[in-house]
Chains A and B, each alone.
Chain A
């Protein structure tokens, strides 16, 4: 399946917008991705190995937080999107 890499993380994935991996779950796919591109690991995972809180992962258009998180099963024709959150606002 295809893992789509967001603009700010492409510099750690040889400037690729998408990376093909073979995996049965989202966790395996992310492991395969970070095995190919080791520099991505610290940008996706914290020191304790958990996905960083601001990193959203979607299988097609479903948030894995509402599926089985990293145990969510994936098929060959699925697309996994990595989407860092976009938020902010005035301090008052």
Chain B
């Protein structure tokens, strides 16, 4: 049975909109939320990052570690954890590529991919990085869109 990633509607909308903004280039960002055990991984925030692969942004992405460190520190202050990352596949299916797997190193984290066709976000799928460096694999995850918790909605207002 596939695992499950819960994501708030606002975070999902943000990461899909980011893919449309950067089209025909790949977008990328960090997914923050709370991990209360295997069955309760809930992404509440999608934080957009710059793509440092300016040499080939239409088919490569890379997040600056310095930007990630800042996001991680801010997240800790809010009691949030890094649960995964997102990126887009311009004019390409929302499935992980061999490059995505080769360059994935955050085990236990979700890698969310959105296909963007002709500038419009299409499918969004999530894959959990399982195993370790010697036996790594992506496992399909169901994406469940949930309403924003009341307190987060109040903060957004």
Q: Quick check: A61 and B106 within 8 Å, CB to CB?
A: no
Q: Are A83 and B69 in contact (CB under 8 A)?
A: yes
Kindly supply a per-residue 1/0 record for chain B positions 44-63, scoring 1 wherever the CB is within 8 Å of any chain A CB and 0 otherwise.
00000000010010011111
B108–A87 CB distance below 8 A: no
Given A88-B99, A89-B26, A90-B97, decide whether A6 and B61 contact each other with a Cβ distance below 8 A: no
Interface of B is mostly: mixed
Nearest Cβ on chain A to B39's Cβ, whole angstroms: 17
Within 8 A of B (CB), among A1-38: 4, 6-8, 11, 17
Interface residues on B, range: 35 or more
Secondary structure call for the A interface: mixed
**Given A8-B109, A61-B66, A90–B82 Cβ distance below 8 Å?**
no
A17-B76 contact, Cβ under 8 Å, with A89-B59, A91-B97: yes
Check B132–A43 contact: CB distance below 8 A.
yes
Residue B68 CB within 8 A of the other chain: yes
A71 to B35 alpha-carbon distance, docked (Å)? 36
A30 to B59, CA, bound (A): 34
Interface pairs (26), CB distance under 8 Å:
A4-B72, A8-B108, A8-B129, A17-B76, A52-B133, A58-B65, A61-B69, A61-B70, A83-B65, A84-B105, A85-B62, A86-B28, A86-B68, A86-B85, A86-B106, A87-B62, A88-B61, A88-B87, A88-B96, A88-B97, A89-B53, A89-B59, A89-B87, A89-B100, A90-B59, A91-B98
